[in-house]
Amino acid sequence: MKLPGVDELRYQNNQVDEAAYNSDELMLVKLRYKEPKGTTSELIKQAVVDKGVSLDDASNDFKFAAAVAQYGMVLRDSEYKGDANFNEVLKFANEAKGLDLEGYRSEFINMVESSQKLMEKK
């Protein structure tokens, strides 16, 4: 489907290209922005590649983001959650909490704990 002013989608082909099997590219992120007084937008494109890093060796930011995604799947009881549960979410989130200078990660952990208690009451 063509929309005026919208870039073509890159990953909508249902047929898997043979080259994709040998590629480490996971996605292409496109971002458009305008300068505060600008009239035309600028496009930034960045390919996201799989560097083959295990979760144990990933950054705390990545691990925490994984815990947040896992939490969403547990809450929705997603078919893709595997064996994930609240305890596992809390384990990953606590391990990746880091300095948490603004307290956002602590707030997330508290929210997961509250959700777990609510679900236990069901």
The residue ranges of every structural domain in the chain are 55-121
pTM of the model: 0.66
**pLDDT tens digits, one per residue of 23-34:** 888 888 999 999
Determine which of 6-20, 39-53, 108-122 has the lowest per-residue pLDDT on average. 6-20
Cα–Cα dist 77/27, whole Å: 26
**Quick one: 43 exposed, middle or buried, by C-beta within 10 A (0-12, 13-18, 19+)?**
exposed
